[in-house]
Structure 1
Amino acid sequence: MKQLIETIVKPLVDYPDDVQITMDERESRVTYKLSVNAEDMGKVIGKQGRVAKAIRTIVYSAAGSHHGKRVFVDIID
């Protein structure tokens, strides 16, 4: 899943080397925390959050059941 997020985000940003994804797994949820360069934040979020919503939709769909855990994508600054 981490690789999927990288594949989606890296072509969108000007500083692909600054893309970092960490995974936080708990009992009933898995959270992927996406961090990008401050200058690229607008590109990842998009107008009215459309790009961020699209990224989340793709990840949620690809995750499927993910062993009964809910999957979340957080964009952190």
Structure 2
Amino acid sequence: MIADFVAQFAKLIASYPDDVRVEVKEGDETAEILLYANQSDIGKLIGKEGKMIGAIKTVISGCKAKDGMSYRINVEAIK
């Protein structure tokens, strides 16, 4: 669910939406969300002063209240 949201949100922003990929690595209490995108889209996904990625984090933090998991998100360029 969270991976789908992050992927759809990123695809709306990205110039190369077909390159967007999301992986989730879950632990006991923390899950790491890895958002992969084209190098030219990294700045767009992070946003000016981190506002775009901050918006994604805000929505994800609401999920913590629901399932008790903490989420971290990392944006990385496709290699």
TM-score grouping bracket, smaller chain normalisation? 0.7 to 0.9
In the alignment, which residue of structure 2 is the partner of 1:57?
Answer: 58
Q: Which runs of 4+ in 1 moved over 4 A?
A: none
State the distance in 2 between where 1:63 and 1:10 align.
Answer: 23
Match of 2:40 in 1: 39
Aligned residues of 1:5 and 1:55 also touching (Cα < 8 A)? yes
Whether the 8 Å CA contact 1:60–1:72 is kept in 2: the answer is: no
In structure 1, runs of 5+ residues without a counterpart are none
Residue 63 (structure 1) shift: 4.2
Partner Cα distance (1:51, 1:38) in 2: 16
Residues 1-77 of structure 1: pairs in structure 2 closer than 5 A? 1-66=2-67, 68-77=68-77
Deviation at 1:9? 1.0
Aligned with 1:7: secondary structure? helix
Q: In 1, distance between residues paired with 2:23 and 2:59?
A: 18
Q: CA RMSD in A?
A: 1.3
